[in-house]
Amino acid sequence: MGYSIAVAGKGGTGKTSLCGLTIRYLTEKKRGPVLAVDADANTNLNEVLGVKIHATVGALREDSLAAVKSTAPRPGGMSMEQLFDYQIQQAIIEAKGFDLLVMGRPEGAGCYCAANNIIRKYMDRLAEKYPYMVMDNEAGLEHLSRRTTQDTDLLLIISDPTVRGIMTGGRIGELVKELNLNVKRSVLIVNRVQDGADGALRQAIERTGVEFAGFVPSDDLIFDYDLNGKPLVQLPADSKALTSYFAILDRLFA
């Protein structure tokens, strides 16, 4: 099993942006390839990464559900799982240094249990082929208990630079423990910090009891790239958010 990284935190804290930069870090500094998974129904990791989506697992889930229910013979006498293997292979988007799998949103009502079980099994098998997996998640915690894949080696809890935001981060850390989730290491990252962090922020961080990984400064370049629809992974190597974040990852992987 490869090393898996996931993110958690409120909406707008920078989960997707930092996932993108994590993927760049791993492809540049570690020997990739990386499996990037966009597990947020409001898919946008691909924009940060600068790749186009041509298929999602959500759409496949629809097909699989129909196939599970259908009694008609499948093409070429394929088993249900073979069919799904084949389909999900089609959903993998290949890019330089990484592959991207977009979960998307399953359309319509209905029970996806059968299809979801196959997805989970397949995802685990797929993840084995990559030394690293980075999963972007939606806000909230449901995704952690739903566990699209088996284990998470590193959970990045992202917070905005407010006391309340950091307290939320702390609660996420507690929940991970309470729910007995398969998370080996959780760390807190405070993003979008303006001119240093004050004492109140530092005290709040200490009170969370979550291992603190570091601050990422607010960076106008990120705003700029966003405004102009430029992929964030193309940030110059000396941009301040990128250098701070890469230093955090250097420490985490040391």
Mark the segment that binds Mg ion (CB under 5 A) among 14-22, 158-166, 187-195, 234-242. Answer: 14-22
Pairwise CA distance, residues 32 & 224, whole Å: 29
**Residue 103 to residues 15, 64, 244, Cα–Cα distance (Å):** 16, 14, 30
Mark the segment that binds ligand ADP (CB under 6 A) among 6-14, 112-120, 121-129, 145-153. Answer: 6-14
User: Which lies closer to ligand ADP via its Cβ, residue 11 or residue 209?
Assistant: 11
Binding ligand ADP by CB under 6 A: which of 5, 34, 201, 241?
A: 241
Residues 6+ apart with CB under 8 A from 1: 124, 127, 128, 150, 151
Backbone angles phi, psi at 197, to 5 degrees: -105, 135
Binding mask 187-206 vs ligand ADP (x if CB under 6 A, - otherwise)?
Answer: ----xx--------------
Max CA distance (Å), the chain:
66
For the record, the structure tokens of 150 come out as 């088996």
As measured in angstroms, the least distance from the Cβ of 114 to Mg ion is: 29
Pairwise CA distance, residues 36 & 50, whole Å: 13
Binding mask 16-45 vs ligand ADP (x if CB under 6 A, - otherwise)?
Answer: xx----------------------------
- Residues lying near ligand ADP in the complex (CB under 6 A) are found at 9, 11-17, 191-192, 216, 218-219, 222-223, 226, 241
